[in-house]
Structure 1
């Protein structure tokens, strides 16, 4: 028995803000310095390239979420397109992505907390994971309200950095690329993680009112807001500090504010960054637990993961499981390594998701699609084709140790698919 279903309490505002909250905190506050080290002053271009690539796959998610508004998200989409075995593998990869992403953002939180208090980075990450676990179990309405408040704060922090950087616009050469265009493209592969969030939003479908229309709109709106803020703030950041100082700082936003306005501004931005990364980690845990819930409901994961708390209406065992695994991965290494391991699973999943849109256009042409990816060539939607090509090109930019870890995660999913199929 799984208990009663999830509660539909979210509208367009809550889902959109949740998406913006995941996207903003996951990227700029955690990875700007790492990206600047690769792309130099052209870090803005890396974010722009990633934005185009993310938009292609985001549109595919919008179409599929309008067809299958379920918490299982990718698992349900791929099951309809390619069957249950592939669905398990993709669900497994997305669960791994959620766990690794939470660890990545929690390490970012730990870095800012260390700058403010001296608490070790990993210890700070563990404290965060424990706190967000309690809130995620408490209820989706409470989580959404918290996310709205925190997202407003983190967006204000980004707008603040944009504003203080305006007088410095034009002070540097924005095309300086210390590692050439290959460095910019490698940075784009890294900061693709910064746009992660639209694929997490769709997992809120079973807690959203009128999800067939609400979720696709929210995906597009959240991506649009994130792209605009990212492009503006990266130009502002390099204008104030230059890429060398950004690359050397564990807390780049705080460095920017401190350089312009002094120590008081440094402290304020540290606090905003803590809010941003905490908010993102919370929403990632929520999304990962909903996918686990959906897969358990579909019979592809142990039934206890589909249990809903009788008082709070949340999949509490799934939340605890995702949070525990995320805490373990805090010990895996540096933030860039964990983020890129996340990206391997993400790029591979996005290739399959885009392929699912193409396949379902042929297999299920009569199925109602409240949102439809625009543009076709010879009956084939070309945006998902671009999404496949972009995802493959980004995957090829990853280092061999990262690819090795990603292949291990993939192999575990394949083995799990065969084992679970035999049990079923």
Structure 2
């Protein structure tokens, strides 16, 4: 049944473990590592790798929480479903809206990043390029989940190949710099970690494929841990090799540091890595729109958003209206701001969401101790799971590493989500 009470076509379960893993790796790798590593190097210096390690702690702690919750409630509504069972519909609605906003705003921002790379090849207006990209990817999502997954897999292999290429290029330079040099001290490392957490965004999107995945109770947790492990390893290796080649000063603030580095090492390197960056950013936009449309669909299916958003197209078996809304709102946000600021705003929504997710694991251990858990977070003190506690502490710590204006913007978005909960009559 849909949110408005009508029986509707179900999503198609076609995704296997390799497709889930590669889709997850694809959305995690994307624009964050390709576009933000230069900004992060400006504050972390040669200790950039340490910032990636600190960010990985949040991702890992929270990743385990997602694994347990997704094995308990394998639904497309994901965060909404988890927090509803833990804290009730008000916080669940707010969390769901924050997740939707992070995907939509992130997609429009990365589309603008795509335009910047594309203009290096064809000099066309930025808004035109961004709009066409969003429209084409929305049409792909409407066409079918298998088609979208296949494109995501191909793009993922290309962007992952680019990161491996940077690692190989940098291997001869390993040991050439002091990897603990921090121009702003540990404060700069933490600031960079708070920013580049955007680069880890995506591991949580895997759970939104639960209703389109075979054997989701097993496949989703396993796919999540594999995807997260691979990307953490790649990020740390890339951050070490990038500063090894030319030092942190050379890449600090660069919008396309990989292309710049490759251009110095071999002829045509700049062009090759610009092309790879196009695939990376396009892939991130595709998977952000995918995840946003699925949680819109899931919340509508639960009756917390207008019922028509839960309708599934009979031929393509995709949530057509949810895809349309995601794409349209992303178009409206195209002029929202630069990638650093919007990445930080997106991070605020993620810290809010991840705090709620980790807290949900703790609450459910006490309120639903008999509930079947195909995957269970390790390390507990009695019924109290320790990793979610550390995840909450890490989220709150990095939340207050952000600029004051970002915190104000995040509070405003939270207030809007709360107002939405009241408007839709959530009790």
Same fold (TM over 0.5): yes
Residues in 1 aligned to 2:164 and 2:111: alpha-carbon distance in whole angstroms: 23
Counterpart-to-counterpart distance in 1, 2:132 and 2:235: 28
Q: Is the 8 A contact 1:67 1:212 kept in 2?
A: yes
Residue of structure 2 aligned with 1:335, choices 319, 336, 339: 339
Q: 2:38 aligns with which of 17, 27, 33?
A: 33
- Show the counterpart of 1:247: 252
Task: Quote the residue 1:183 is aligned against.
Answer: 188
Q: Does 1:345 align with 2:346?
A: no
Cα distance 1:343–1:28, how it changes in 2: closer, same or farther (>3 A)? same
Among 176, 192, 198, the residue aligned to 2:197:
192
Q: Do residues 377 (structure 1) and 414 (structure 2) align?
A: no
1:260 positional shift: 0.3
Mean alpha-carbon deviation: is it higher for 159-168 or for 122-131?
122-131
Pick the aligned partner of 1:52 from 49, 57, 62: 57
| Contact 2:195 2:344 survives alignment (8 Å) | yes
The partner residue of 1:16 within 21, 26, 46 is 21
Distance in 1 (alpha carbons) for counterparts of 2:50 and 2:36? 15
Q: What is the SS of the residue equivalent to 2:65?
A: helix
1:116, CA displacement in angstroms?
Answer: 3.1
CA–CA separation in structure 2 for the residues paired with 1:27 and 1:194: 4
* Aligned mate of 1:389, from 363, 388, 393: 393
Deviations 1:245-304 (A, max 9, x none): 212422111111101002x12111111110011111101101110000000000100111
Partner-residue secondary structure (3-state), 1:101: helix
Q: Verify the 8 A CA contact 1:2 1:306 in the aligned structure 2.
A: no
Superposition deviation, residue 107 in structure 1: 2.6
Report SS of the residue matched to 1:410.
helix
Residues 84, 91 of structure 2: 8 Å contact kept? yes
CA distance in structure 1 between the aligned counterparts of 2:329 and 2:85, rounded to whole angstroms: 29
**SS in structure 2 at match of 1:176:** coil
Contact 1:201–1:219, Cα closer than 8 Å, also in 2: yes
Q: 1:301 to 1:333 in 2, by over 3 A?
A: same
- Secondary structure in structure 2 of the residue aligned to 1:115: coil
**Which residue number in structure 2 is paired with residue 221 of structure 1?**
226
In the comparison of the two structures, how many residue pairs are matched?
422
Q: Distance in 2 between matches of 1:63 and 1:118?
A: 48
Name the CA distance, whole Å, in 2 between partners of 1:156 and 1:203: 26
Partners of 1:365 and 1:358 in 2: CA distance = 10
**Once the two structures are superposed, what CA deviation does each residue of 1:120-142 show, in whole Å capped at 9, x if it has no partner?**
44443223212211111110000
Contact in 1 for aligned 2:39/2:254 (Cα 8 Å):
no
The superposition leaves residues 55-113 of structure 1 with CA deviations (integer Å, 9 ceiling, x where unpaired) of 00000000000000000000000111111111111101111111122123223222222
Q: TM-score, normalised by structure 2?
A: 0.96
8 A contact 1:29–1:108 mirrored in 2: no
- Report the equivalent of 1:364: 368
**SS at the partner of 1:212?**
helix
Q: How does 1:58-97 map to 2 (within 5 A)?
A: 58-97=63-102
Shift, 1:30, TM fit = 1.9
Task: Note if contact 2:162-2:273 (Cα within 8 Å) is conserved in structure 1.
Answer: yes
The 3 A distance-change label for structure 1 pair 2 and 315 is farther
Report the equivalent of 1:323: 327
What whole-Å deviation, never above 9, does each CA across 1:6-42 have from its counterpart, x for those lacking one? 0000011111110000000132112111111121111
> Is the Cα–Cα contact under 8 Å of residues 190 and 343 in structure 1 kept in the other structure?
yes
The separation in 2 between residues aligned to 1:227 and 1:147, in whole angstroms, is 19
Distance 1:289 1:299 in 2: 15
- Other-structure match for 2:139: 134
Q: Does the 8 Å CA contact 1:294/1:306 hold for their aligned counterparts?
A: yes
2-side partners of 1:120 and 1:29: how far apart? Answer: 22
The separation in 2 between residues aligned to 1:265 and 1:60, in whole angstroms, is 40
Task: Report deviation, 1:2.
Answer: 5.9
Give secondary structure in 2 for the equivalent of 1:421.
Answer: coil
Contact 1:103 1:338 in 2 (8 A): no
**Unaligned regions of 5+ residues in structure 2, if any?**
1-5
1:166 pairs with one of 171, 181, 200: 171
Give the secondary structure class of the aligned counterpart of 1:174. coil
2:3 is matched with which residue? none
The match for 1:233 among 229, 232, 238 is 238
Structure 1 unpaired stretches of 5+: none
Superposed structure 1 runs of 4+ greater than 6 Å apart: none
